[in-house]
Structure formats: C-alpha cells, structure tokens
Amino acid sequence: MRQNWQHWNRRGVAVLFILVIIGIIAALPVSATRWKIERSSKQVDIILDYRDLIQVAAYKSHPQQFIQEELGKMKAAGIGSMAVFEMTLQELKWGGRISLYSSNTLSDLQSTPNDKDENYTYVLFNSKSDEDALRPVMEETFQRWGIAVSPWSFKDSNGLKLETPLEDAMLKLMPPDPAAIQMLHDAGFGIIPRLSDRIPYDAAEVDKMLEMYQAMGVKRILFDGSSVKGYADNAEKKSLAAFADSLNRHGIGITTIENSKPQNGLSTLAYLTHYNVARLYSLPAKSAAAMKPIDIADRFQLATKDRSIRMFYIHVAASSSSVKSMITDPMENIYNSLQGPDGFLAKMDKLGFKPGPAEPFDYTSPSWQKPLKALVALGAVAFIALLVQMFLPGVAIPVFLIGLIGSAGLYVLSKSVFEQGLALGAAVSAPTLAVIWAIRRVRAHTVGNRRPVGGASDAAAGRAFGGIRWIFPGISAGRRFLMAIAIFATASLISLCGIPFVVGLLNNITYKLVLEQFRGVGLLHMAPIALTALYLLLYTGDSVIGNIKRFLNMQITVLWVAVAGVLGVLAMYYLSRTGNEGSASSLELTFRNFLENTFGVRPRTKEFLLSHPLFFAGLFVALRYRAAWVFFIVGSIGQLSMVDTFAHIHTPLQISLIRDLLGLALGALIGLVLMGVWQVVEGAWIRWAPQFKKAKTNFKSGA
C-alpha cells in the first residue's frame, strides 16, 4: 500500500512540474500585454503650485510684476502646467484682487470707534474687473452657507459685507478663480484644477465647471484633501457616479499622489472613469529649496523611469535667510534642475519621454486573458504543492487538491485576495525550492552515498563534533568551481520561474497605478529565509526525527542567547529596509546614484554586493566544508529579492528584468573574486598551519 502511494505520489510530482511549466508559458502572453501597456504613456507634465507662487510674490516689492516675470521664466524652463486651488479670501488677498477688513480694522481705517456689537467681514474689490469676476461667486458661496451678504463701499471702491467673522469667512471655499485660470491659460500653461470635497456637491454646477475646463484644454484634475469631490454626498446623491459621468463626457481624467494615503473614493472614481488616471510625485517646498538641481533632476528621472510617474508637482515657498539678510525663494533652483545638459528635460528626452499633459496608460483586458490566467493560477497551486512536498514527502497530491479547493473559495470571496494569495505563494515557493535544490545537490556530492577519499585518517578528520562530517576532501578545486557555476545558474533559473506567476496573476491596472498594492511583501522577504534555515536544520542530517531530538537536547548557553539576539536585530533591520518605507544614509544614496548613472538601471545592493557573491562563493566552499552551508541562508535573500523586484508592479518589466540580470552578473563577478581570495587563504593555511603547530609544540616542550 505504501509503495503504491509513493508510486502515485512520484507521478503526481511529475504532473505538478508539468503544470508549473504550463503556468509559466500561459503567463508569457499576459506579460506581453503589460509590456505593451507600459509603453503607451510617454508624456510627462511638470506642474507648479500657483497658490505657492502667489505666496512667494506677497514678499516681493512688486507682487504682480514678479508673478508675470516668473510665469515667463517657468514657461521657458519647461514647466507646462499650473495647479489652481479653489478660491479663498486669503488667496485673493495675496493675489492683490481684494482687501479684507474685520469690524475692528475697518473702524481703524475709517478713524471711527467701533461702537456696534458686530464682528463682520468687509471685502473691497481692488478693480472693476475684479468686482465683475468675483462678486457673483462670493455672493453665491456665502449665501449657500447661510451667511447674509450685502453691498458695501468705501470711498470710490465697491465691496461686500459678510455677516460672519473674518476668521470664519477665510475658511469658506469658492470655485477656482476663473480670471486666474484664464490668465494662466492665455500665458500658455495647462491648468490642473485642485478640487475638494468641502463644497456641497451640485451636479449642474460641477458639469458647468468641467465644461469650462474642457474649453480651456484641461485634461486632468487633482483632488485636495482626504476625499475626492462628491464622496461626502455619495450615499445621498450618488454623486461619484454623476461626477465620473461628467468627467468622461468632458474627457478629463484624475490623479493619484505617490506615497500618500489614497483619498476616499479614489478607487471607485478611477473604476468609473475607466482608469483615466495618472500618478503624481510631489516635491515639497523644503526639498525644492535645499536639494541641488542635479539631485532634483535625478529624483524626477528615477520616478519617471522606475515608478511610472507622469506628473511632477513642485511646491515653492519664501523663506528668511539670516546669512543673506533677505527673503529668498527656490525659483532659480527649480529652473536649474529642469534646464541644461544635466537637467530633467534632457534626461527625459534621452529616456524617450516628452513634455506634455500626462496620458493614461492604454489599458485593455482581452477576453483571452481569463483562461490563460486560470492556467497561471493552476501552476501557482502546483508550485506551492511542490514546496510543501519538500518538507512533507508524500503529500503532493492531497496538498494540490486542497489548494485547488481553497483557491476556488478565495476566488468566490475576493478575486483580489485570490490573485495576491497565489502570487505570494508562488513568489515564496520559487526561491525556496531553488535554494533547497542547491542544498540537495551539494549534499548529494558530499554527504550522499560518497565514501571519504584519502583513507581512514581523512574520514576521521572529517567527523569531528558529534560524528557529523564537516570536511569533504574528495573533490578537486577545478571541479568544485564548475559545479558551483552550474548550481548557482540553475538555482537562479528556478527562482526566476516565480516571476511569471507574479506578473501573470497581478496583471491589473489597479496595481500599476498603486490603487491596490501587493500585500504580504514582508512575508515574501522572510519566508524563504526561514524555510531555508529550517530545511538546513532538519533535513540535512541522518533523519528529521534525529535532528529534532538533537536540537531539543542542545544546552542553551549565554552565547546562543546572544546569537539569537543579534539575529533578531539583523532581521528587524532587514525588514526595515524592505519596501518603500526603508530609509537610506546620504552615503548610500550617493552610491545608488553612482550605480544609476553608471548602468542606467540600479541593481539591488543586497543582491550583487551581499547575497549573490556569498551564495556563489559559498557553493564552492560548501562542496568541501560543511560549515559553509550557512551561506545557503544568505543566498536565499538574493533569490527571493529577484522575484520581489517584479512585485513592484509600478516598475516597468524591462527595468525589473535588467535589474535582476545586472545583479546576477555583478554578484557572480564578485563571487569569483571571493573564490580567488578563499583559495589563496586556504592554500596559505594548509601550507603554514602545520609549521605553526609544530613550532608551538616545540616551544611548549622547550626544544
């Protein structure tokens, strides 16, 4: 009975291998679709915050003259669009459009005592054109808030009296200033309106506003605050659907901001607008002033090339400089970062991008993808079953069947969880199986059924420490070198087999736009390492039970506790450096920029400087010394990292592929150097150690 089951299990394992191969083949056309999508958006929009510009101008001797001069410089520097917020009284005051007074300050202006029990806001329009443009908007806005509005004048200027305190009046938002929008449009700038959800949603008013934007060539809007426009009223008015319908009719898309919490309702609105979405990177005012121009250009280049960013939003602010004894601004620094041979515009041109309104990715989901993705999912379940089989021999068939049933249940409950769960399982399985395969190959060539070469003395020398063989002297250096190459290359190829499953299962525009993220990355960074260590601990001795007993009977010393503490700290540091939340020192950032500028694509440091070299050189040493098997654990870091590179869906496939291949090539070269160093050190030790030992013995004996 047992033999029959083992026979069927072996056949089942063979079928699982075939299913994995079928899954990889099925993922290739799906990956080709993503490759095409990634090449469909080639315009990059550089945006400056118009409100920031007005604030900077407020510190100049001639604010309006400064604004007009800077608009010309911006256009020449390559800034193509201006972000325009919904109006506030404060912004209009900064722009010189109105003058504001409270009841108290008005009494000072009129040189009369304020003997009335009132705390109102008084607005004076600074010109007849400002009055014509702003009066209707103000009256409508404040009346909507239930605030009484009445005409008011002072000397030859007309204005409005708002029966609310100045502090409250300045909080009320009005639609973006049409006069400012027209002025910027006439100056040749694209307009990026910033709309909030703080104004009650009015479908007719919004549609009228979008119609005006369409006439001015507006292609995209950006939301201000924690919610998209219409989110607060959606339950009552179905405003998100109405807003999306209006956006679609006027050909206007939306924007998502990188490294910020997704705004409420954004995913729904993205779906309803058929993912007419562009990703935006925001440069803070502090960075715009403090960073060197070349560093700003490099940051923008990296975001365009590696993270599919198509919009760059620049903040500026005035600041006081005690060194210069004056108010300064970063405008010139921004212009220098965009212009010149090292500027962003030149870098963008070399990458094949051009300035212009950000275009959406040409996202299509052909009907033939569904059956192919089903095959990819089937292959992923098979991959996971093969990994379980390595630790629990004989269970491949039932594990595969359970995996199918569980996957079907996940698909019914949540398609997203189904895709991410299988992608994570395949991503963990591939590098873990790769390293386990390498361990088994080394073990077969060393412990296996091989007899010790060189006689009984060699065998005795190799069986110190509890009868475990620690030295395998039977393989020549040349042969070990060739075997290390073969094992390293094959293991890397097995790890790379996990990539098609990640790409094929997560081929959705929501991941590309980071509206949805691949969860479980932390598990991907730890599971292969832990499973590799577990396999080395339990499955490389005489028996699993024997290894467990030996481990449980070990005496816990202070040294072991200290080692465990160090490993824990290293694990926490390792996890802190994974994903987008890790920080890097200035020295490391300089090194990263050097790699980026040298190769065009920066390979992952932990791959080519740490894991790949130690894994490659460790294979060479492990074929002679058992203690070097610890390098398999280090090697698992690089193997999983190659798969994890493709888990960053917003990074183009071409960049991820180059990054992996560069890491492998550079890591192998460094590994060759380490092998050479090891051979020199080992040769010197073999030659001089006996003489040192003899000299030590003679010294003790007094000879």
Say if CB 515 and CB 260 are below 8 A apart: no
The CA distance from 610 to 605, in Å, is: 7
- Highest mean pLDDT (candidates 93-97, 113-117, 454-458): 93-97
State percent of the chain over pLDDT 90.
63
The pLDDT value given to residue 179: 83
Q: What are phi and psi of 323, to 5 degrees?
A: -70, -45
The answer to whether residue 459 scores a pLDDT higher than 60 is no
Range in 169-183, 256-270, 462-476 with the lowest mean pLDDT: 462-476
pLDDT at 276 over 70: yes
Residue 604 pLDDT > 60 = yes
Task: Show Cβ contacts of residue 675 under 8 Å, excluding neighbours closer than 6 positions.
Answer: 481, 484, 616, 617, 620
Contacts of 266 by beta carbon, 8 Å cutoff, 6+ apart: 223, 228, 254, 256, 515
pLDDT digits (tens, 9 = 90+) for 203-229: 998 999 999 999 999 999 999 989 999
Say if residues 648 and 580 touch (Cβ distance below 8 Å). Answer: no
Q: In terms of DSSP bridges, do strands 326-328 and 354-355 run parallel, antiparallel, or are they unpaired?
A: unpaired
Classify the C-alpha dihedral 331-332-338-339 as positive or negative: positive
pLDDT, mean of residues 592-602: 79
pLDDT at 137 > cutoff 80: yes
Closest by Cα among 596, 577, 590, 602 to 663: 602
Burial (Cβ within 10 Å: 0-12, 13-18, ≥19) of residue 616: buried
Helix 477-496 and helix 653-701: axis angle, to 10°? Answer: 150
Q: Give the number of other CB atoms < 10 A from CB of residue 484.
A: 24
3-state helix, strand and coil shares in percent for the chain, rounded to the nearest 5: 60, 10, 30
CATH 3.20.20 residue window(s) in the chain = 43-86+178-355
Residue 464 has pLDDT above 60, yes or no: no
In this structure, of 111-120, 458-467, 598-607, 613-622, the range with the lowest mean pLDDT score is: 458-467
Measured in degrees and rounded to the nearest 5, phi and psi for residue 190 equal -75, 155
- pLDDT score of 686: 78
Q: According to the model, what pLDDT value does residue 435 have?
A: 97
Decide: residue 669, CB within 10 A, 0-12 exposed, 13-18 middle, 19+ buried: middle
568 has pLDDT over 90 = no
Residue 561 predicted with pLDDT over 70: no
Q: How far apart are CA 339 and CA 688, in angstroms?
A: 63
Report d(CA 391, CA 475) in Å as an integer.
29
Quick one: average pLDDT of 381-410?
A: 94
Task: Check whether 624 has a pLDDT greater than 50.
Answer: yes
Q: How far apart are CA 136 and CA 157, in angstroms?
A: 17
Distances in whole angstroms, Cα of residue 604 to Cα of each of 607, 641, 643, 675? 5, 8, 12, 22
Can you read off the two tokens belonging to residue 499? 């990539």
pLDDT at 161: 93
pTM strictly above 0.75? yes
Chain centre to alpha carbon of residue 196: 26
The yes/no answer on whether domain 43-86+178-355 falls in CATH 3.20.20 is yes
- Local structure of 253: helix, strand or coil: strand
pLDDT tier at 363 (50, 70, 90 boundaries)?
confident
Distance CA 280, CA 258 (A): 6
Instruction: Quote the pLDDT of residue 163.
Output: 94
The pLDDT of residue 573: 59
Mean pLDDT value across the chain: 88
